Structure 1
Amino acid sequence: MADAAVEQEFGKGSGPWSMPIEQLDPSRPEYFLANEHGEYFRRLRKEDPIHFTPQSAFGAFWSITKFDDIVKVETNPGVFSSEPSIIIGDASDNFEPPMFIAMDPPVHDVQRLAASPAVAPQRLSELEDLIRQRAGVILDGLPVGESFNWVERVSKELTTQMLATLFDVPWEDRYLLPYWSDIATSAEAVGSTFDQAERQRIMFECLVYFQKLWVERAAAEPKFDFISLMAHNPQTKDMISNPLEMVGNLMLLIVGGNDTTRNSISGGVYFLNKNPGEYAKLKADPSLIPNMVSEIIRYQTPLSHMRRTAKEDFVLNGKQIKKGDKVVLWYCSGNRDETAIDNPDAFVIDRGRARHHISFGFGIHRCMGNRMAEMQLRVLWEEIMKRFENIELVQEPKRVLSNFVNGYEELMVRVHPRAA
């Protein structure tokens, strides 16, 4: 969109193109709730791609907004640390459980390696048929001729069932996993208005629950669920003696398995409705599904940012970053970087190099379960195309108030089955 057109759309004297650039604070969660954050980042990429915000609800921070600059930071963990946190704000209640995504090597590497067999290629191959079976049951149970919330009936349901398998929790307890995931990501440090004392109380309930499962798994034969793997690994089995670290790592794995997949499942339905030409391409050629999955994940960018903290003074593209400064990597901006991705604001399901995105991060912290997320989306869309001629968007979605999770609370749709 040309600058003049942008100015006209947002109105003079307000919006991202009218305020002084030094006043632009891209972290405000209301921008994400209204899905208006894209224009703020477009301006930063154009005029100040490494941008300093001296004051915000989350303190002072640097914004890294271009694809290649994000990669530079991600691949330099010696200077840009993941400790003490990977979200923009700092915990106001001193409740920030340790987790390996917010650690540097060598501890990060050891703990990540302990959990990774649960989503290794061989394990994914074993799980594909189960995902297909579950997706089919979920889709066959959808109401025809009435509107319903796709988030609850499909996106959340499929990811919840797979989380229950990856953690091997009792089936009747499976809905605790997305509940705890939503509570974990509702921190004040990312703009949530959820009561933080209540959040801490619920997280302690979660801790007690997983302590019990950990002890049970440690006493049983090893299996390939996340809890058993970590309870039996020589490098992580003693984590039970540090309950906060234990629950922090398990919550990391729950959030990682929940948010990326769940919100990309919802986003795909929304994007296809907003781009009917692409939906027509899909109907004409369902073999585009694997490529479309990567495009959905890029376009959705389920986690909007990750934070690093400078361990020493560093000059990045002429900008002086000081030791201790927060450095926020805006994945949602890097995935729309015009200098790295051709026509990035277009949703194109047959895009060349569709995997050229940073929704999964980059470097040593690249999402461990990225192939699991892609497989769930691929299998689900294969089953959708067998059953439905169209998934019709009924109204605009309700989004999550967060500058971290780019998510949906509600996506009202109506399904139209294929002709017999």
Structure 2
Amino acid sequence: MTISDLPGTRDDERRRDEHDFDPVRPGETFTSAHEEFRQLRQRHDGLARSQEYDGFWAAVGYDEVLQVITDIEHFTTRKQNAVPKFAFTGVRPPLHLDPPEHTAYRRVINRFFTPPRMRALEPHVREAAVSLLDPLLSERWIDVCKQYAHRFPAYVFAKFFNLDVATSELIKNVSGTYVDAIQVLDHDTVKSLSGRLYEIAQGIIDERVAGDFDPEEDLTAGLLAARHEGEPLPAAMILGCVRQLIVTGMVAPSVFTGNMFVHLSRDPGLQDALRADPSLIPAAVEEMLRLYSPYRGMARTAREDVVLAGQLIRKDDPIALVYTSANRDEKVFPDGERFILDRENIQRHIAFGRGTHSCPGAPLARMMMCITLEEALARTASWRLTDEPEMAIWAEWGTRSVPLDFVRA
């Protein structure tokens, strides 16, 4: 369909004034957002509208999300890459850049997530998981989010980025407060904490400049050594890239880890099956990634007037990419609201995005989730929820608090 085939401008403007859903509605539960997104997919053909955050479109259908993230000719990540907009303090490659500008940074980052590097990192990830889980399981009653999921990424990233654990935990604490401020539109705190994260990133860079770090073994040193068209990458862009990298992997693993524990607490049969045959854990994690995708506020901006799902999207309109909804779209995933181990087309899920800006850290995230379940299941006979989970609010979807009763094996 071309723009000239669309209904008249009056219909277009009426649609823009509608308010299909409220992303900041209080009282969200573990199931309420998915129920709402299912209804939005059915009623609005994959594209919903909200008047919150100054008004935005929300791609809630699989095909609509996939079209936006793969059509870099019509949709850009430069102007607004999240709803609500919170990038007030500089450009942070590669997320804030489109090809070809982003490619030099992505090329360096990709080198550090290869299968051989992940295999080398695996013993350290497992050691971190065990060191955190063992004392907790002895307590029996724990909050798996606050006592494990919020801490685990800091230990992993300390090893991955060649940082001491204290620095990594500082990043985790600052980034957690930063995300909380984004969710309530506290722009002053967002700017202040973003500045603090830049200071930490600059300290990491200064340490590499002063020290003897191998650019083949250290990601920050790799960025400093990289050349694009014969020239070093700009210092401000390297700073922005490190600033982006040290935060990106901290939030999503935290909320998703809690999601896994909630799901398994509600399905003791699956718990037992995974304990009996741990080789099933990777497939179970993959299906849970589809079912509980943590991103719903990542965004793109229309470069020009463009048609999406039969709707005219105006130039500069922001579009939220609701992966949380798209991965349950029944048009692509039959019985999409239900967990199905070894789902036939599971490889089509887009929990980590697709194309230019797909998550480079996906192999590490998968490893972290699989190891967490392997070690937790091996050390327990069962676990159950002792209260309702506390949920994150837009822009992430997932748990902030999951109180559990563990029975140790």
Shorter-chain TM-score above 0.5: yes
Report the 3-state secondary structure (helix = DSSP H, G, I; strand = E; otherwise coil) of the residue aligned with 2:384. Answer: strand
Please, which runs of 5 or more residues in structure 1 have no aligned partner? 1-20
Cα distance in structure 2, aligned partners of 1:342 and 1:353: 10
Cα distance in structure 1, aligned partners of 2:309 and 2:203: 50
Q: 1:343 to 1:251 in 2, by over 3 A?
A: farther
Task: Show the counterpart of 2:337.
Answer: 345
How far is the alpha carbon of 1:308 from its aligned partner? Answer: 1.1
Q: Do residues 232 (structure 1) and 228 (structure 2) align? A: no
2:24 counterpart letter in structure 1: R
2:147 counterpart letter in structure 1: R
Q: Is the 8 A contact 1:282 1:288 kept in 2?
A: yes
Cα distance in structure 2, aligned partners of 1:208 and 1:254: 12
Task: Show the counterpart of 2:11.
Answer: none
Q: Is the 8 A contact 2:77 2:98 kept in 1?
A: yes
Q: Is the 8 A contact 1:84 1:103 kept in 2?
A: no
Q: 1:51 to 1:355 in 2, by over 3 A?
A: closer
2:21 counterpart letter in structure 1: D
Give the alignment partner of residue 57 of structure 1, picking from 49, 52, 58.
Answer: 52
Cα distance in structure 1, aligned partners of 2:382 and 2:90: 43
Q: Do residues 297 (structure 1) and 297 (structure 2) align? A: no
Q: 1:357 to 1:306 in 2, by over 3 A?
A: same
How far is the alpha carbon of 1:400 from its aligned partner? Answer: 1.9
1:46 counterpart letter in structure 2: Q
Report the 3-state secondary structure (helix = DSSP H, G, I; strand = E; otherwise coil) of the residue aligned with 1:107. Answer: coil
Q: Do residues 124 (structure 1) and 118 (structure 2) align? A: yes
Cα distance in structure 2, aligned partners of 1:109 and 1:238: 11
How is 1:236-255 mapped onto 2 (pairs within 5 angstroms)? 238-240=233-235, 242=236, 245-255=237-247
Q: Cα RMSD over matched residues?
A: 2.4
Cα distance in structure 2, aligned partners of 1:283 and 1:125: 23
How far is the alpha carbon of 1:52 from its aligned partner? Answer: 5.3
Give the alignment partner of residue 112 of structure 1, picking from 99, 106, 112.
Answer: 106
How is 1:180-191 mapped onto 2 (pairs within 5 angstroms)? 180-188=174-182
Q: Is the 8 A contact 1:32 1:406 kept in 2?
A: no
Q: 1:89 to 1:193 in 2, by over 3 A?
A: closer
Cα distance in structure 2, aligned partners of 1:265 and 1:34: 14
Task: Show the counterpart of 2:3.
Answer: none
Cα distance in structure 2, aligned partners of 1:300 and 1:279: 17
Question: Number of aligned pairs?
Answer: 389
How is 1:319-338 mapped onto 2 (pairs within 5 angstroms)? 319-338=311-330
Q: Percent identity?
A: 25
Report the 3-state secondary structure (helix = DSSP H, G, I; strand = E; otherwise coil) of the residue aligned with 2:370. Answer: helix
Q: Do residues 141 (structure 1) and 135 (structure 2) align? A: yes
Please, which runs of 5 or more residues in structure 2 have no aligned partner? 1-16
Give the alignment partner of residue 308 of structure 2, picking from 298, 307, 316.
Answer: 316
Q: Do residues 193 (structure 1) and 193 (structure 2) align? A: no
Q: Is the 8 A contact 2:92 2:243 kept in 1?
A: no
How far is the alpha carbon of 1:181 from its aligned partner? Answer: 2.4
Q: Could you give the per-residue CA deviations for residues 353-383 of structure 1, whole angstroms, max 9, x where no partner exists?
A: 3333111011111110111111111122222
Give the alignment partner of residue 45 of structure 1, picking from 41, 48, 51.
Answer: 41
Cα distance in structure 2, aligned partners of 1:368 and 1:62: 26
Give the alignment partner of residue 74 of structure 1, picking from 69, 90, 93.
Answer: 69
How far is the alpha carbon of 1:221 from its aligned partner? Answer: 3.3
Q: Do residues 84 (structure 1) and 108 (structure 2) align? A: no
How is 1:160-199 mapped onto 2 (pairs within 5 angstroms)? 160-188=154-182, 192-193=183-184, 195-199=186-190
Q: Do residues 24 (structure 1) and 17 (structure 2) align? A: no
Report the 3-state secondary structure (helix = DSSP H, G, I; strand = E; otherwise coil) of the residue aligned with 2:345. Answer: coil
Q: 1:26 to 1:51 in 2, by over 3 A?
A: farther
Cα distance in structure 1, aligned partners of 2:238 and 2:179: 17
How far is the alpha carbon of 1:261 from its aligned partner? Answer: 2.1
How far is the alpha carbon of 1:175 from its aligned partner? Answer: 0.8
Q: TM-score, normalization: structure 2?
A: 0.87
How far is the alpha carbon of 1:184 from its aligned partner? Answer: 3.8
Task: Show the counterpart of 1:16.
Answer: none
Q: TM-score, normalization: structure 1?
A: 0.85
Task: Show the counterpart of 2:346.
Answer: 354
Compare 254-263 and 73-82 and name the one that shifted more: 254-263
Task: Show the counterpart of 2:96.
Answer: 102
Cα distance in structure 1, aligned partners of 2:103 and 2:227: 14
Report the 3-state secondary structure (helix = DSSP H, G, I; strand = E; otherwise coil) of the residue aligned with 1:30. Answer: coil
Report the 3-state secondary structure (helix = DSSP H, G, I; strand = E; otherwise coil) of the residue aligned with 2:21. Answer: coil
Cα distance in structure 2, aligned partners of 1:183 and 1:229: 29
Compare 25-34 and 149-158 and name the one that shifted more: 25-34
1:212 counterpart letter in structure 2: G
Report the 3-state secondary structure (helix = DSSP H, G, I; strand = E; otherwise coil) of the residue aligned with 1:144. Answer: helix
Q: Is the 8 A contact 1:391 1:416 kept in 2?
A: yes
